[in-house]
Amino acid sequence: MRKAGLITGGALKAAGAAIHDGMTTYDLDRVIHDYIVSHGAKPSFLGYGGFPASACISVNDTVIHGIPSKTEHIKNGDIVSVDVGAYIDGYHGDSARTFAVGEVSPEAESLMKSTEESLMEAIAMVRPGIRIGDLSAAIQKYNEERGYSVVRQYVGHGVGRNLHEDPEVPNFGRAGHGPRLVAGMVIAIEPMINAGTEKVKVLPDGWTVKTLDGRLSAHFEHTVAVTPTGVQILTLAD
């Protein structure tokens, strides 16, 4: 899983280096696809449940599952969530990052900062014996204290031979509740945080999830392993 994670993290790093004003989300998807394939892996998302691309690329008020398009152009001021998975030697990696394109609004910058910091705070808590609800409650508290809302329809999950496995890892909940983590487990923690309402809608394409009020959303995710002494992030680029 370290190998799958390394390729996943590298694909996100390549996306961050390539993203620029004027490019299409389709072009960005090709960068990610080519990186994963060139490293001997397969894009986990391509064909998953019928998904037509190698990455979910979600711009501004799109929360998750944005379908790359030849007609959707990225522009300065956008925030772009890129969600990537790589499959190699029987295992998956899964990671997401929201990128700022050019100069973004203070609101966008603050939302991204809160979302990423809540992810890292939850990761720092991971160790054998802690409960999923402890992570969930920490993410919820961190973001709600800053005036943001937590998406509830979509959650983190286990990762392994399948892209999505038990247990579910919500971004909201009660400390002291839920399954206990044990050494050897691998989970994807992925806060999806909205500037406005937590409510979302799914577009007629069956994939694209947008905020109900049209305000911004940010998404950060890492695949992490529970070790006997704590945690290891598997989806770093190096």
In this structure, is residue 69 part of a structural domain? Answer: yes
CATH code of the domain covering residue 137: 3.90.230.10
pLDDT of amino acid 238? 84
In the chain, the number of structural domains is 1
- Which residue, 107, 14, 111, is CA-closest to 55? 14
**Residue 91: what pLDDT?**
98
**In-domain check, residue 101:** yes
Q: Which residues pair with 22 in a beta bridge?
A: none
* Residue 224: burial class (beta carbons within 10 Å; 0-12, 13-18, 19+): buried
pLDDT at 149: 98
143 located within any domain: yes
Does any domain span residue 152?
yes
Residue 214 falls inside a structural domain: yes
Strands 230-233 and 222-227: antiparallel
Q: Which residue has the tokens 């009660």?
A: 174
**Which residue has tokens 């398009």?**
69
pLDDT, residue 146, reads: 98
Q: What is the pLDDT along the chain (238 residues), one digit of tens a residue?
A: 999 999 999 999 999 999 999 999 999 999 999 999 999 999 999 999 999 999 999 999 999 999 999 999 999 999 999 999 999 999 999 999 999 999 999 999 999 999 999 999 999 999 999 999 999 999 999 999 999 999 999 999 999 999 999 999 999 999 999 999 999 999 999 999 999 999 999 999 999 999 999 999 999 999 999 999 999 999 999 8
Domain of 124 in residue numbering reads as: 2-233
Note the pLDDT of residue 25: 98
Collapsed DSSP state (helix, strand, coil) of residue 174: coil
Is residue 90 in some structural domain? yes
Whole-prediction pTM: 0.97
Report yes or no on 238 lying in a domain: no
End-to-end CA distance of the chain: 14
**What 3-state class would DSSP assign to 3?**
helix
Is residue 73 within 8 A of residue 23, CB to CB? The reply is yes
Could you tell me which of 225, 228, 222 has the C-alpha nearest to residue 139? 222
Task: Report the pLDDT value the prediction gives residue 227, as an integer from 0 to 100.
Answer: 98
How many Å apart are CA 218 and CA 120, to the nearest integer? 14
Helix axes 106-125, 132-144, angle to 10 degrees: 160
DSSP state of 237: -
